[in-house]
Structure 1
């Protein structure tokens, strides 16, 4: 009897449990991995990338089947309705919880993306850690690109850019929460990496393969779209980016290469000050360096450090001047004043519309490069 009573007690305890009646199997949902938004002829064009997680599992399990990527698109003057039109032919429920990237075209950014912010944030399944990109290429090509070995875009910089950035810190990836935050303050500058396809670098069985890479960035400054800069035009901004891990610097003297440094983890300090009614800034940057390569000429460690410091300073100055010439505050100097001298900001900028940034505003740039590892470099340091 005691055993029977115990069994009945356990069964009674199990009755209130509801179980997982509403759960769906993997194959019963369409998983959105990335979404692209364009703006053409007064209509939003929405692109959605689906991923077959079953084939992903097979590839990761060692089987040879390549991951399949599906891309759909629909358009409407209203962004919400453009998304809704995709549901009409999606066959199954669209699941947004795995969305890892948002891609905007240059046309959309010229139009403005505040409606996209409003709509995406109203989806309860959307996350704030989505990666955000711009592109001037065809959206279908960007969203259809895969990674090596038949792996999906989950294994590409579209969804996971951080590991590549740690090794080559050119243009810092940006997340959705940063875009939202910057859009609410007129003092900030938002630098959104630009995606493109490169097809002459990698081959599979002697067949060129198109791979995603960052070819520059789209810039919002003072709540206005300022356009796109190429990677070459952005050269220099990485030296003042606090999240930079490492980036190579070629050191030249008299037209000859003296060496290649791998510069690491900059520490930046910006000091604003006034000369009469004119605001100016001083910038100080310190970087560590690892010697990767040296030329044939014997050069002392001190001279290499000096040459590196001068080259970094030159690139920083060049990037600042190029940005100011196009209305871009690439070093976010306006934000420093907004945060630290808000009274002055409200009076001069908000009330009187003072535009204080010009080429002379960044008065001085002091750069210190310290070699932290010499490798096998054996120069005469005497």
Structure 2
């Protein structure tokens, strides 16, 4: 009798345990990895990119077959309406919990940034840790580009920019939480990296189309300011924090050096309006010296070249009425009791009174 009662209690407890009857299989949803947003002719366009598990997983030693990329597109009077059309037409429910990247067209950045921010704020599954890019290229074509060797696009700069540009620090990448934390700030500039399609440098049986970063878009005080190319932003690389190594060719390319861990410091000088002194320090190793120039001559030329990069970038920003290098933020953070935000915003190329570069060049020989 006692065994029978124990058996009945055991069965009762098992029936009360929560099961997995309502669980969804991972293949039963469409996992969105990237979203593209555009605005044209009075209508919003939404593009979604979905990558299946075949795009991601592969068996060790097995050949890799190119996997298709799912692209959805719809348009509407607002972003929610356009996205709603995709939700109604999809074969599998859309899941936004795995979005790595949002790409914005130039049109939507110029006119409709508040709509984008409102969408993200009201989307519970969209995390603030996704990457933000801009582009003037066709969004659908950009989202259809492939990585090398038939690997998933998850291995491209669209989804893993921090890995792709690990040794190329000329252009900074941007995570959305950084963007929104600075968007309403009364001083400073936000840099949104721009993407384009390159099909001129790589070939796999045929020309390979790959996404690349080619410049930066700029926002200041909730306004779109414009775009500057990568070539005209060479001064940015000397302000990048963290360890880096950059190869610099000097003059007629008879000399090249590798600069390690450059450190830029901004000093604020007092007056009616704030002015600034920029000091850049670091070490460099000689890579090439065809004409056997002395180290002193090379250091002098290198330091002039770096100062020239910084000046040119400041001037490019001034054409857009922006502080590209965010030099004036130092005054806003630490000297707001001396100058108002309006005064600090008067930054221009004349505000930088001195640029001092002290890069020490060594031959790299341990002897």
Same fold (TM > 0.5): yes
State the Cα distance separating 1:59 from its structure 2 match. Answer: 6.8
Give the structure 2 partner of residue 29 of structure 1.
29
Structure 2 residue 334 is the aligned partner of structure 1 residue 340: yes
What is the CA–CA distance in structure 2 between the aligned matches of 1:286 and 1:7, rounded to whole Å? 78
Which residue, out of 260, 269, 274, partners 1:273? Answer: 269
- CA drift of 1:296 comes to 1.7
Secondary structure of the residue aligned to 2:234 is coil
Q: Deviation digits for residues 40-93 of structure 1, max 9, x if unmatched?
A: 122221111111113432477724321210111111222211211111211211
Kindly tell me: are residues 364 and 14 of structure 1, through their superposed partners in 2, closer, same or farther at Cα, counting changes over 3 Å?
farther
- Residues 123-181 of structure 1, C-alpha deviations (whole Å, 9 max, x = no match): 22111110110001000111111101112211100000112221111211110101111
Q: Tell whether 2:361 aligns with 1:366.
A: no
Q: Would the alpha carbon gap of residues 257 and 124 (structure 1) be closer, same or farther in structure 2, given more than 3 Å must change?
A: same
Report how far residue 182 of structure 1 moved: 1.4
The answer (yes or no) to whether the contact 2:254–2:289 under 8 Å persists in 1 is: yes
Aligned partners of 1:243, 1:161: CA distance in 2, in Å?
A: 16
Q: Which residue of 2 aligns with 1:118?
A: 118
2:208 is matched with 209
Secondary structure, in 3 states, of the residue corresponding to 1:217? strand
Q: Is the 8 A contact 1:215 1:231 kept in 2?
A: yes
Check 1:264–1:164 CA distance in 2 against 1; reply closer, same or farther (3 A cut): farther
Structure 2 residues not aligned, in runs of 5+ = none
Q: Aligned residue for 2:284?
A: 289
Aligned equivalents of 1:4 and 1:202: distance in 2?
Answer: 75
Structure-2 change in CA distance of 1:306 and 1:54 (3 Å): same
Distance 1:84 1:298, change over 3 A: same
Q: Give the structure 1 partner of residue 131 of structure 2.
A: 131
Check whether the contact 1:26–1:53 (CA below 8 A) recurs between aligned residues. Answer: no
CA distance in 2, matches of 1:282, 1:9: 79
- The alpha-carbon deviation at position 103 of structure 1 amounts to 0.3
**Partner secondary structure for residue 198 of structure 2:** strand
What SS does the corresponding residue of 2:169 show, helix, strand or coil? coil
Query: Could you tell me how far apart the structure 2 residues matched to 1:11 and 1:296 are?
Result: 86
TM-score (norm 2): 0.92
How far apart in 1 are the matches of 2:329 and 2:64?
51
Matches within 5 A, 1:1-382: 11=11, 13-58=13-58, 62-205=62-205, 207-243=206-242, 245-252=244-251, 256-275=252-271, 277-291=272-286, 293-346=287-340, 349=342, 355-371=345-361, 374-375=363-364
SS of the residue corresponding to residue 165 of structure 2 reads: helix
> How has the CA–CA distance of structure 1 residues 363 and 55 changed in structure 2, closer, same or farther, with 3 Å as cutoff?
closer
Alpha-carbon distance in structure 2 between the residues aligned to 1:184 and 1:170: 26
1:233 match: secondary structure = helix
Higher strand share: 1
Relative distance call for 1:22 and 1:249 in structure 2 (3 A) is farther
Query: How many Å separate the matches in 2 of 1:368 and 1:6?
Result: 83
Count of paired positions: 367
Instruction: Give CA deviations for 1:313-347 in whole Å, capped at 9, x if unaligned.
Output: 1110111112112212111123222211223444x
8 A Cα contact 2:55 2:152, kept in partner: no
Distance 1:7 1:265 in 2: 71
Question: 1 CA distance for matches of 2:250 and 2:7?
Answer: 79
Write the deviation string for residues 178-202 of structure 1: whole angstroms up to 9, x where unpaired: 1111112121211111100111100
Between the aligned partners of 1:264 and 1:86, the Cα distance in structure 2 is 49
Normalised by the length of structure 1, the TM-score is 0.88
> What are structure 1's unaligned runs of at least 5 residues?
none
